[in-house]
Chain A
């Protein structure tokens, strides 16, 4: 199956500094992929390259089918009414499901004759997401869709997106620097750090393939692929990939998503990347 989003050797440069380098990844169709990383990791850059707002300096990025994008801050035209925003979408796109869009906004209680500037932040986010979904995209790219939203609005926006995912084959790539936002909804994880790709893979497989080890200082970790380690007093805690060490003093358990992400972000030189030859390429 062809991936919904595929980047090969992708490099993006702003003047002299590389915002993204040598990034190769593939997100299979139908996945909800979380793009996480600290601020300035290159998340927005990767998304802009994917939707054609940036031209890569190296490599390429390819989307199978139509992509829709909701930028950070959910830009809309302030002076337009909600109905005019829908008219904008209809006239700017080949595919347009206006009935579904109007229905969605109706169900959310957003009046069509209201000016965009008169909507709450959550309502504006819903309008932006509705516009993106009305294009009936194959890939929906959302840059920090939950930032600046209150908990209730976060939940509503996420539910709208997930409802659409459940209905048809839609691949979603959404970024956040708050991992807990993504835990329940995403099934694919992409970790970017300092412009480099660290992790890309199925979340369940990643969690199954890693262990958090705790044991006394000095326990043998020979033959183990340590992602990162931290020391508290005489206790050592490690995130490891693959098999556990034979030393019986270690206690092992499955990591949580946040632990996994933090483990990788703490040691930028570690990486967990699938063999890309198997996917698409």
Chain B
């Protein structure tokens, strides 16, 4: 049965493995080149927070961005591809070609055929996702000493930790279920892609509620001194301690800025701070990285299990 699974799905497995290998080579080459650059050009004490390190940081940043732009699309596109090419054909193609009548009339019972396929391919998908996460997690620190954005940047967040594995598994399960519903590959592919996009958007909206946001009151600035935090909302706090969305009757003149300038807004804010206003920011600190990772992975894992269960149920009920 494992041989059968491999033989039927080896194209997807090999293409995915080849793609990951290619990405690995690219990341490795870029990391080696960056390390060499650091070794040759870094002033003593760099990379680090010292002032002299600024130029080095910019040069590394340029290298990082160049490579990141190559695979920055992956958090959304990779799960969609997994759903379309690993999940959708699993049942959709069998029904479409009528080969389910061949596969399901052998000695191996249907439930076992499906269980082996789901577990072997599901495990492969999870392994692929974890490999991607590992490679990205090893590669990023070369460029980003002291400046982390794995939590604040949702794109990066979805490429590290357990996120890629969870997303890939979700997409695979969704594609499989879609195949069992439509009994054709192409509509199942479309549903898998749409389902991944919808889920990603929904979870992005939902992620603010994974934990109670932390609150901090700022004075003199509206910018949070944590580059890796996720902002949830903000409000002004009147001198009386009352929180308002828009300060009214503060007596500070507010004029609209023109073009790129933020001079008027800055002046207004400075005036408010001068009158005793404070700025309250609700946010999730980067220390919640793993909490958010596991929460999202948990949601996706439950959804995957439900999808797989439905696909199995539907297949066993009406195998013909």
Contact = CB atoms under 8 A, between A and B. Distances in A.
Interface of A: 48, 51-55, 66-69, 71-73, 75-78, 80, 84, 87-89, 91-95, 128, 131, 135
Interface of B: 1, 3-4, 7-8, 97-99, 101-108, 317-320
Given A88-B4, A89-B106, A135-B106, 18 more contacts: A53-B101, A53-B319, A54-B318, A54-B320, A55-B318, A71-B102, A72-B98, A76-B99, A76-B102, A77-B8, A84-B7, A88-B7, A91-B3, A92-B1, A92-B106, A94-B107, A131-B102, A135-B107
A69 B107 contact: no
30 contacts: A52-B319, A53-B101, A53-B105, A53-B319, A54-B319, A54-B320, A55-B317, A69-B101, A69-B105, A71-B102, A71-B105, A75-B98, A75-B99, A75-B102, A76-B102, A77-B99, A77-B102, A80-B7, A84-B7, A87-B3, A87-B7, A88-B4, A89-B106, A91-B4, A92-B103, A92-B107, A93-B106, A128-B102, A135-B106, A135-B107
Contacts of A95: 107
Contacts of B97: 75, 78
Given A77-B8, A88-B7, A92-B108, A48 B320 contact: yes
B4 A92 contact: yes
A68 B319 CA distance: 16
Contacts of B8: 77
A91 B320 CA distance: 22
Nearest to A71: B101
A9 to B, nearest CB: 20
B106 A73 contact: no
Contacts of A75: 97-99, 101-102
Contacts, number: 63
Contacts of A135: 106-107
Contacts of A66: 107
A51 B104 CA distance: 9
A48 B318 CA distance: 11
A95 B105 CA distance: 13
A89 B192 CA distance: 31
A73 B98 contact: yes
A272 to B, nearest CB: 29
A53 B320 contact: yes
Nearest to B316: A55
B156 to A, nearest CB: 38
A71 B98 contact: yes
A88 B3 CA distance: 8
Nearest to A92: B106
Nearest to A89: B106
B92 to A, nearest CB: 15
A93 B105 CA distance: 10
**9 A-B pairs with the lowest CB-CB distances in the bound complex, closest first:** A92-B106, A71-B101, A69-B105, A75-B98, A53-B320, A93-B107, A75-B99, A54-B320, A75-B102
